[in-house]
Amino acid sequence: KQEVTQIPAALSVPEGENLVLNCSFTDSAIYNLQWFRQDPGKGLTSLLLIQSSQREQTSGRLNASLDKSSGRSTLYIAASQPGDSATYLCAVNSGGYQKVTFGIGTKLQVIP
């Protein structure tokens, strides 16, 4: 059974700092990995989707990497802003909807 862990559970940084969020998974046989952000009481907004054949994806100040062999993905946020404050979740797809496992998330607070 796939297990997804996100550490730390919460993170507080000053505005402007670069930061890295981590997502670890136990089964390296995955189809893709997706990063989301969730604002309080809201749905999930997709940030980046990395297919198993890819090593990284970039969108603006965000860069996500994938290392299947080590069971890790990182989300790098450059020059953090207060508007980046949210919970960031990763979801690992190990073979269809029945095998999509979500992490609990990392709650990020960027302090002005």
Partner 1 sequence: GAGVSQSPSNKVTEKGKDVELRCDPISGHTALYWYRQRLGQGLEFLIYFQGNSAPDKSGLPSDRFSAERTGESVSTLTIQRTQQEDSAVYLCASSLDSITGGYTFGSGTRLTVV
Which residues of this protein are in contact with partner 1, per CB under 8 A?
31-32, 34, 36, 41-46, 49, 51, 89, 91, 93, 95-98, 100, 102-105
Give the nearer residue to partner 1 in terms of CB position, either 18 or 54.
54
Tokens (6 digits) for 90:
């990763």
Long-range contacts formed by 59-64: CB under 8 A, 24+ apart: 62/35, 64/33, 64/35
- Residue ranges in 20-66 assigned as alpha helix (H): none
Closest approach, Cβ 15 to partner 1, in A, equals 26
CA 33 to chain centroid: 8
Give the nearer residue to partner 1 in terms of CB position, either 18 or 59.
59
Give the nearer residue to partner 1 in terms of CB position, either 32 or 74.
32
Three-state secondary-structure class, residue 59: strand
Closest approach, Cβ 48 to partner 1, in A, equals 9
Alpha-carbon torsion, ordered 5, 75, 30, 26, to 10 deg: -30
Give the nearer residue to partner 1 in terms of CB position, either 36 or 80.
36
Closest approach, Cβ 54 to partner 1, in A, equals 11
Closest approach, Cβ 74 to partner 1, in A, equals 18
